Structure 1
Amino acid sequence: MIHLGNLDVGKVPKISLTTWAENEIKDPMVRNIFYALCRTTTYTYAPTIQLASSVLKQIQLSMKEGVLYVDGGWETIITNLRGIANTSGVQFLAKKHVLKIEHCEGKQRIHCFDDEVFEAGAVIVTTPPKEACKIIKGTEGTSLQKWSEQSIQVTVAALDIGLKQLPNPLHHFALGLDQPIFFTNQSRAAKLSEDGSIVVSLIKYHNPVLELNHIQEEKEQLENMMELLHPNWKREVVAQQYLPKITVVYDFPHIDRVEKPGPNIPGMPGVYVAGDWAGHDEILADAAVASGKRAALHILKQSESEAVHHGNGAII
């Protein structure tokens, strides 16, 4: 395990995480700990198809740079990014539901449900892949259709709890070794409430390869784990939210991928995709940012070569 930080991920062949772990980690208990770390780092529980090199790269990043817990949650980052974009001249068009996107004579026509139509030289679509196939016309037989068909959606059951105080102040983090469950006290590292309440999260990872048969029992399973770690926790509850099947990502690097998605769609000049599903070797937020950057750089390169201006920089 301690050698993971120095591993040359570039030399790892295109094999599954299970294949790599079975070959490289001989001790079964250590291997189970490794799988638990992989689930936590990638939020994905599919070792038989996850691309080993991608997971190992993500683990190396977490080992070198650690995990960032943000005061106020991720919403504060999005709010700040929007502020920077506004200052830079980006125009946001709120409550504009896109009906379809047509590629016509080198231009992209964005049709909205209110019958308003926008034209742009380039458009970046950040919806999930299947939704992108629906709104972008003419995708039959294209790479986008292939990316959509090869995509594998990942979900989890999540129980978020706000507590007046933590019943057992020694239990802040727990990983399930014999079951794909995770507990964390996020308030230990970040301020997530205005009144000083402690926010904890419990997660049950779903294996996308297997059919979900016991989804109704998972809340009880998470509550039992909470009771094991923090007896009588229900006395301290000020708020809680249970999400039985929330999407984590719409795709991830796996061995069944025929090709890496994006940023441009071959045969559809000016149409780009980005999002957590459009990562190449990246995962989660890294994939979202990297794919967006790839699309933006591609557009800038095309703009420079063609000396054209692409629309008004609006985000719909």
Structure 2
Amino acid sequence: MTPMDPIILFFLLGLGAGLLRSELKLPAAVYDLISMLLLLSIGMKGGIELAKQPFSTLLPQMLAVMGMGMLMPLLAFPVLYYVGRFKRADAASIAAHYGSVSVATFAVAVAWFTSRNIEFEAHMPLLLAVLEIPAILVGILLARGISKDMRLGAVAHEVFLGKGIVLLIGGLLIGWIAGPENLAPIKPLFFDLFKGILALFLLEMGLITAAQFGSLRQYGLFLVAFGIGMPLCSSLIGTALGVWLGLSVGGTAMLATLAASASYIAVPAAMRISVPQANPTLSLAASLGVTFPFNVLVGIPVYYALAQWAHSLLGS
């Protein structure tokens, strides 16, 4: 029997405990702390590598990834609105979740790739941050159109100054400015303990995921089918873009993973402000109840195999 990655077992422990209605739960302060440590660690790792290459070489990739982030909710919306027959606000909100990205999925992918010595471009945390934003703006426009009561200031504050973006970009800047030598004193906390912190985070994510299963029973099989089908389709877009941008096999697989993930932190907060009539339970049931466990348990190896296949076709 092939041993399973322990961080996946932590997720399954949380999922099982939640489904069995155990009293197990991380204190809110602990969950907030490990979330902050993860975001800062991911950002600093990317910032260290970002200092090694000129920003001008990354700009085309950033613009291309932003375009992908705008495209995916536009593809998801008609499926949800016309096939799923969701209300316009709900369809737009769910679509925005699937155009954005999951930091937790990225963290799991980093651990999975690292444990298998699979190299990928070190500026992926920068692309992760870039992908958070475009889908939110597209989702708001799909739900409301352009109107005077959009509260653009509040939306911009939530999008650009939300905790996740501030910590991720802040970590990037710290790693970029300080460099590896100056970060050495804090390396044991932010780098050496990364996988242990991620394991605790996934334990809580398993508990949270279990809480969304009731919504899946209520809203039927469509959200399950969409929650699996959409990331598979999005991974094809991410793979094609990675190959087109000339990324390595690992980088292409990572971009496919980012494309396939769905937000459950930044987007819900922004939708709550701008599209309050949307039902957040529907979005979270799909993104957190279906897509996150699918990606963590099944998707990441599939996206890596897809990237290998795409590069083999080109002989690269």
Bin the TM-score by the shorter chain.
under 0.3
TM-score (norm 2): 0.27
Normalized per residue, the structure richer in helix is 2
TM-score (norm 1): 0.27
Higher-Rg member (1/2): 1
